[in-house]
């Protein structure tokens, strides 16, 4: 199963209700957004004058760039398929891709608020919410969850429910009979480019001119920070495991901090 969302630009009128309903539902601070609408055009496209909208949200990518970079302690977590009841246990850091529904989620308790995942996302879908600060962090990474808590309670995602245009459709992209799959067959695509191919599962459908304008919003490069963060995350994880097991945390930590700080300066 892979949850996905279709946004039909032929229907979208750019009313921004999705963005605001999301903000209300999840009390998203006004400086951030899990769900946004960028107004595009009027501008010339190869297919004629166009004006449309980029209603954006987390793409719950098939190959998420944000998951690997998480430096938080890993834990063995058992996931359960809501339908079949099957379980799967995986070692995950504070953010992961759910093996059953394909959504990318965050464990706020374990998130250290470092922002590595924020930097890694080419779509700008994540932010660190300082309102969620605790003793272990100055805030927590946050983003669209495809409203999984609502979906589990039998509700539609907040943005889908409020959409007056019925421009947003939520469902299982792995189910060939779902409405979202039908849109994919009709040509709904994610915001990808030559160098950004991480399998976005929020997809857009529309006429040629609107899609041409929308595609100007596709990220052209993976974020630069990505490689650095990934390296740091790779470095810190085994080091910490080792430190714990050897009870030599002090020394290992000192070395680690020093080496990282030096790297940061570079």
> Judged by CB under 8 A, does residue 231 bind another protein?
no
Q: How far is the CB of 71 from another protein (least distance, A)?
A: 6
Question: Pick from 42, 176, 187, 234: which binds another protein (CB under 8 A)?
Answer: 42
DSSP string, 81-139: -TTT--EEEEEE-SEEE-TTT--EEE-TTT-----HHHHH-TT---EEEGGG-BTTBS-
Nearer to another protein, 158 or 169 (CB): 158
230 binding another protein? (CB under 8 A):
no
Asked whether 120 and 106 are in contact (CB, 8 A), the reply is: no
- The answer to whether 16 contacts another protein (rule: CB under 8 A) is yes
CA-CA distance, 206 to 44, in Å (whole number)? Answer: 16
Site membership for another protein, residue 95 (CB under 8 A): no
Q: Where are the alpha helices (DSSP H) in the chain?
A: 17-26, 65-68, 116-120, 148-152, 158-162, 179-186, 208-214, 225-246, 249-265
Measured from the CB atom, is 140 or 173 closer to another protein? Answer: 140
What is the end-to-end Cα distance of the chain in Å, rounded? Answer: 43
Distance CA 27, CA 127 (A): 14
- In the bound state with another protein, the residue whose beta carbon lies nearer, of 85 and 250, is 250
Residues that contact another protein, how many (by CB under 8 A): 70
Is residue 224 within the footprint of another protein (CB under 8 A)? no
Applying CB under 8 A, the residues found at the interface with another protein are 10-11, 13-17, 19-21, 23-27, 30, 33, 37, 41-44, 49-52, 71-72, 108-109, 112-116, 131-138, 140, 147, 149-150, 153, 155, 158, 161-166, 210, 232, 236, 240, 243-244, 249-250, 253, 256-257, 260-261, 264
């Amino acid at each position: 199963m892979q949850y996905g969302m279709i946004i039909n630009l032929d229907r979208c009128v750019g009313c921004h209700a999705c963005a605001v309903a999301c903000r209300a539902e999840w009390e998203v601070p006004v400086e951030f957004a899990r769900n946004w609408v960028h107004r595009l055009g009027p501008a010339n496209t190869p297919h004629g004058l166009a004006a449309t909208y980029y209603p954006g949200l987390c793409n719950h990518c098939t190959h998420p760039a944000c998951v690997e970079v998480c430096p938080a302690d890993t834990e063995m977590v058992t996931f359960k398929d809501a339908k079949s009841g099957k379980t799967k246990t995986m070692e995950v850091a504070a953010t992961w891709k759910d093996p059953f529904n394909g959504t990318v989620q965050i464990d706020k308790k374990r998130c250290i608020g470092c922002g590595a995942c924020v930097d890694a996302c080419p779509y700008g879908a994540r932010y660190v919410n300082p309102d969620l600060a605790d003793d272990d962090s100055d805030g927590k990474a946050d983003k669209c969850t495809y409203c999984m808590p609502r979906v589990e309670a039998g509700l539609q995602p907040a943005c889908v429910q409020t959409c007056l245009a019925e421009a947003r459709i939520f469902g299982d992209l792995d189910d060939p009979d779902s409405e979202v799959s039908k849109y994919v067959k009709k040509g709904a695509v994610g915001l990808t480019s030559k160098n950004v191919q991480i399998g976005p599962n929020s997809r857009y459908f529309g006429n040629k001119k609107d899609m041409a304008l929308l595609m100007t919003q596709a990220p052209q490069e993976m974020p630069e920070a990505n490689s650095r963060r990934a390296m740091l995350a790779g470095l810190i994880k085994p080091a910490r495991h080792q430190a714990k097991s050897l009870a030599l945390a002090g020394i290992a930590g000192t070395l680690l901090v020093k080496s990282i700080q030096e790297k940061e300066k570079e």
